[in-house]
Amino acid sequence: MSSPSEDTLIVVKPDGVRRGLVGEIIGRFERKGFLVKKLHMQTMSKPQAEEFYSVHKDKPFFGELVSFITSGPVVGAVLSGRDAVATVRRMVGATKSWEAAAGTIRGDFGLGLTDNTIHASDSAESFTKESGVFFSKTRG
């Protein structure tokens, strides 16, 4: 029995954009069978980044996350496909690049913890919140 199609969000972080990896990363998801429903490049404002990462606001690394994600352009995409959240997370790999398996995006391209090339929503609820923030028309 196949699962219904769902949407998820990925954001290629400033390190991935600077290194010219956007096409390679998006291509991996397309080759896996995901449809790119939305695609947008922007430099996130500090208020937008703080809202995007608000789930981490009480953690010691919050400031570093916000600082890094606003340090340059990022590319966000809404991907659609079967079991999108779980499948995309598997393709992305572990948050700590040095722990990510070879063949995953972070395993192949990530350089560290913050500069791990890509963000991916971890649930349907996160997708709804994060995509709303990322694709909002008003940027503080």
Q: Which residues are catalytic?
A: 119
**What distance in Å separates the CA atoms of residue 9 and residue 7, rounded to the nearest whole number?**
7
**What distance in Å separates the CA atoms of residue 113 and residue 99, rounded to the nearest whole number?**
10
Supply 64's token pair: 């570093």
**What distance in Å separates the CA atoms of residue 79 and residue 125, rounded to the nearest whole number?**
15
Alpha helices in the chain (DSSP H): 14-18, 22-32, 46-52, 62-69, 84-92, 105-109, 124-134
